[in-house]
Amino acid sequence: MTVPIKILDVKPKIPEALQSIKGLSENLWFVWNYEARELFRRMDPDIWNETRRNPVELLCRLSQDKLEGLTEDEGFLAHMTRVRQDFDRYMSEETDLSVYGKNGRPFLVAYFTAECGLGDCLPIYSGGLGILSGDHLKSASDLTLPIIGISLAYQKGYFRQYLTQDGWQMETYPINQFATMPMALIRDSNGNPIKIAVILKSEKVIIQVWQVHVGRTKLFLLDTNVPENADWAKNITAELYGGDREMRICQEMVLGIGGVRMLKALGLDPAVYHMNEGHSAFTAFERIRALREEEGLSFNEALEFVRFTNVFTTHTPVSEGIDTFKTDLMRVYLSDFAKAMGISFEVLQGFGRQNPWNKEEEFSMAVLALRVSNWSNGVSRLHGQVSQRMWRNIWPNTSKFDLPITHVTNGIHTPSWISEEMAVNYNRYLGPRWIEDPDNMKVWERVDKIPDTELWRTKERARERLVTFTRGRLRKQLIKRGHVDRDVAIADEILNPGTLTIGFARRFAQYKRADLLLRDIERLEKILTNKKHPVQIIFAGKAHPQDNVGKELIKRLVQTTNRDTFRRHMVFLEDYNMEIARHMVQGVDVWLNTPRRPFEACGTSGMKAVANGVLHLSVLDGWWDEGFDRQIGWAIGTGEVYEDNSFQDDIESRSLYNILEKEIIPLFYERGTDGLPRRWLAMMKASLHQLCPMFNTHRMVEEYWDRFYIPAAEHGTQLREGAWQGVKNLSAWREKIMFNWTNVVIKNIEMEQVESVELGEVYHVEADLFLGDLSAEDVVVEAYCGRLDPSDQYTDRFVQIMSLSNTDEDHLYRYQCDVEFEEAGHFGLNIRVTPNHPNPESRHIMGLAVWGQK
């Protein structure tokens, strides 16, 4: 076999008149700018689609004659000049690091994520987590916030899906050719690729770094597929979520440890590290190791600094979705690293266990991230509560109301997902501020100014495009599967551009219940094939390659769509990706979401649909639990959680059918004399007004910035001051607290011996504490009060700080307070002692509390 002895990347020769195209092709800004996308499509529509809308590959595949011909096309040149001017104007608003934080201190945020979905041309993502990461960076760019992304450069990315004739999912893994993608190797001044190394199983693994321009910000991708590495090491960054547990720990060490070393090699010193899911939690270990080696800090001192400058976001509502590693595997990969951090391997293991002393418990990346982060959050209000229940054993003595996990509800990058016509409506009637300030409620009040005729025409055009797109995709699918010509011909007749269209697209995990609509096939058939008021449904989504239950769901769904009575009304589109997602969220009328509550962490696909005027129909889970209003959409159930899953499915499927038959279908087909569904349009406008300003990534990123990033950066600055004296003081204080906490005892509690008090009266409480070698300044003593349920469990709480009133010769500290109740009811009281942390936000992070006993 002949093999090349030299490999060269031959770049296209861009004519001088088209030089602006090159810069535009190298920045993913085009992904959320319609005019830029249209400029590339105009160069060659067929190649543009064949390359998955990749402008770098498009330029490589265009003939030189075609490029030269474009220099004579005045319309194209004018279009190019207009787009380039818009791009230059956008890029000229450079991030001014000096304006952020108190006292104008500059700082950088490093955003670590295992996947990042920015565009079709960069397929290194699998689903919602990756799309969310990409939208996070896009909004950071729009807001000119100094946030950079760090992820892995997957050679094969996530799998491509195709179906057999009977509907069984199969997978292929096309190779990503990085040289023809909008990314570039980072090189030193001599032109050599910058490389770093990590030690895995006593072997040095070399990592090179790719850079992706995302508007004004950057994404850095780590790549182990380099000649210096052994074959097993080259494959570490081959597949997203591929391989076994050993492959996963290698990927996460490359991402976390390698990512920190990469930033140092590039001369970047982020003030804040944001771990998007637990995959990158090893960043904490590497930062501690570096601080010990470079700054001479102890392990505990370095840990304090790292914890104060870490932010962790969990996206997983089930423990099975968390990466965990057995002790033997951890020992192989991290026993030497523990020594480099100055701790024993057993102590390292404890950081990843809910119970650090339970040697049978596997090491959890989420537990590690929670233990080393001062700020932790779920991705919706409900998911924040679920996360608190999942991880409360990490802080067994902490009240459920004070568990240090909050929530920041996800959003979407609106310009990336709306149709051109919808953007035109927004520009015309909302003004340009809808892009600059999409979370401004006042701006979205102007949706009422959009004429009903224009809004409905926009929706009809989007639905027509979706039908045309679906027919073309289905025809290709059927030909590929080997279907007979008769079946292929029917693809041109499926769906109707004027029919009520429902969309369902997401990962085919069992809890998402893609088959909820199929529980009563006869009833579904009557709904879809009603001659006067028909309905059509488009499905799309992938099952994990190892999830046979999810694959069975797809198979059953596809076989149902193949029935003669269904095939013109129900379609499954294979190989779900961003292109299919955009067509669906823009073109359907109703977005359907049927997870089993409370297993949907957020569910951002519905937000994308809403921004296009689509009405939402969902179980009250994820974001819809906080977004639902009867005036803007529909809820399946009222938030119940059943122990019997089959019973729950029966109840909620009947609710789903009832909503369709009695509410959605009649409302959609209710037309005035002008042919417009006026009440439907009113719901569309109310939905846009109420939901768009809240559920977008501009609001989300600004929330992270204000609530987490700025405080983390400021605390980090304070801890560094005076040759790290701040962090040394904090570490010494924590060590004193941890060493002496077992000696803290509530010796005596005195409460008035009455059974009730009247509203407005005060109730006096006193308590004696023994603090050992701690002082009164080291603790906070509170009267802990709250309403009780019938089983005498707290349903809420308020606290009253108790003041020190006396210290006696036996070193007993007497505290007292008067509790005043603002509401009537059945209340409980207790006394709680917690550390008086120098940073009040961190008081409950330590998980230490002493409670009064009966």
CB atoms closer than 10 angstroms to residue 549: 11
Q: Decide: 72 and 461 in contact? Cβ < 8 Å.
A: no
- What single string gives the DSSP state of each residue in 414-430? HHHHS-HHHHHHHHHHT
Q: Are 791 and 784 in contact (CB under 8 A)?
A: no
Quote the CA–CA distance of 819 and 763 in Å, as a whole number. Answer: 5
Helix (H, G, I), strand (E, B) or coil at 691: helix
The bridge status of strand 779-787 relative to strand 160-163 is: unpaired
Contact 276, 408 (CB under 8 A): no
pLDDT recorded at residue 160? 92
Which amino acid belongs to residue 588? V
Round to whole Å and give the CA distance between 219 and 279.
17
* The pair of three-digit structure tokens given for residue 448, joined into one six-digit string: 């009422």
CB-based contact 603:130 (threshold 8 Å) = no
- Which H helix or E strand runs over 574? none
Residue type, 781: V
Q: Which two tokens stand for residue 152?
A: 């892995």
φ, ψ of residue 278 to 5 degrees: the values are -80, -5
Using CB atoms within 10 Å of the CB of residue 824, give its burial: 0 to 12 exposed, 13 to 18 middle, 19+ buried: exposed
The Cα-based distances of 266 to 133, 179, 187 in angstroms read 22, 21, 10
Residue 364 three-state SS: strand
Give the integer Cα–Cα distance in Å for 699 and 444: 14
User: Cβ atoms within 10 A of the Cβ of 20, count?
Assistant: 18
**CB-CB contact of 354 with 393 (8 Å):** yes
Q: Please calculate the CA angle 470-476-482 and round it to the nearest 5 degrees.
A: 130
The set of residues, in sequence order, having a beta carbon less than 8 Å from that of 605 and lying 6+ positions away, is 128, 505, 506, 581, 585, 591, 593
Q: DSSP for 156-183, please give it.
A: SBSPEEEE-TT--EEEE-PPP-GGGSS-
Structure tokens at 791: 């089983």
Q: What is the pTM of this model?
A: 0.96
User: Angle 452-481/678-691 helices, nearest 10 degrees?
Assistant: 90
Burial of 461 (0-12, 13-18, 19+ CB in 10 A): middle
Structure tokens at 196: 């770093």
CA end-to-end span of the chain, whole Å?
A: 83
Which residue from 762, 743, 748 is spatially nearest to 831, judged by alpha carbons?
A: 748
Q: How far apart are CA 147 and CA 835, in angstroms?
A: 34
Distance CA 470, CA 477 (A): 10
- Position 227 scores a pLDDT of 95
- Nearest Cα residue to 846 out of 710, 724, 737: 737
Q: What angle do CA 373, 376, 617 make, to 5 degrees?
A: 160
The answer to whether 418 and 612 have CB atoms below 8 angstroms apart is yes
Nearest 5°: phi and psi at 783? -85, 120
As averages over each run of 10 residues, the pLDDT of the chain (854 residues) reads 78 92 96 96 96 96 95 96 96 65 74 97 93 97 95 93 94 93 96 97 97 97 97 96 94 98 96 97 98 97 97 91 95 97 97 96 97 97 96 95 97 96 95 83 93 97 98 92 85 94 94 94 97 97 93 96 94 95 98 95 96 98 97 95 93 97 98 96 98 96 96 93 94 95 95 89 94 94 95 93 89 93 93 92 91 90
* pLDDT at residue number 103: 57
Q: Helices 327-341 and 245-253 sit at what angle, rounded to 10 degrees?
A: 20
Give the other-Cβ count within 10 Å of 230's Cβ. Answer: 9
Q: Which two tokens stand for residue 837?
A: 């942390």
Q: What is the pLDDT of residue 408?
A: 98
Instruction: Return d(Cα 212, Cα 218) in angstroms, integer.
Output: 6
- CA nearest neighbour of 727 among 309, 322, 369, 378: 309
DSSP label at residue 97: G
Q: Quick one: which H or E segment has residue 803?
A: strand 803-807
Output phi, psi for 850, to 5 deg: -115, 130
Query: How far is CA 371 from its chain centroid?
Result: 20
Tokens of 294: 């470079």
Q: Can you give the pLDDT at residue 98?
A: 44
User: What are the tokens at 756?
Assistant: 């009730």
3-state SS record for 63-86: CHHHHHHHCCCHHHHHHHHHHHHH
Instruction: Determine the distance from the C-alpha atom of residue 276 to the mean position of all C-alpha atoms in its chain, rounded to a whole number.
Output: 7
CA-nearest of 586, 590, 603, 601 to 634 is: 590
> What angle, 0 to 180 degrees and rounded to 10, lies between the N-to-C axes of helices 299-308 and 282-295?
130
C-alpha–C-alpha distance, residues 469 and 472, integer Å: 5
Distances from the Cα of 133 to the Cαs of 272, 317, 379, in angstroms? 17, 18, 12
Residue 607 has which token pair? 């937000």
CA angle 734, 735, 741 (to 5 degrees): 85
Contact 735, 300 (CB under 8 A): yes
Does residue 507 contact residue 516 with C-beta atoms inside 8 Å? no
The H or E element that residue 350 is part of is helix 345-350
Q: Which DSSP string do the residues of 392-457 spell out, in sequence order?
A: GGGSTTS-GGG-S-EE----B-HHHHS-HHHHHHHHHHT-THHHH-TT-HHHHGGGGGS-HHHHHH
Residue 538: phi and psi, rounded to 5, are: -115, 125
CA 760: distance to chain centroid? Answer: 46
Could you give the 3-state DSSP secondary structure of residue 38?
helix
The reported pLDDT for the residue numbered 105 is: 65
The C-alpha angle with vertex 633 and arms to 628 and 635, in degrees rounded to 5, equals 65
Sheet holding 827-835, edge to edge: 798-801, 779-787, 827-835, 850-851
Rounded-to-integer distance, Cα 576 and Cα 539, Å: 9
Q: Which of 205, 223, 211, 201 is nearest to 181 (CA)?
A: 211
Which helix or strand (DSSP H or E) is residue 547 part of? none
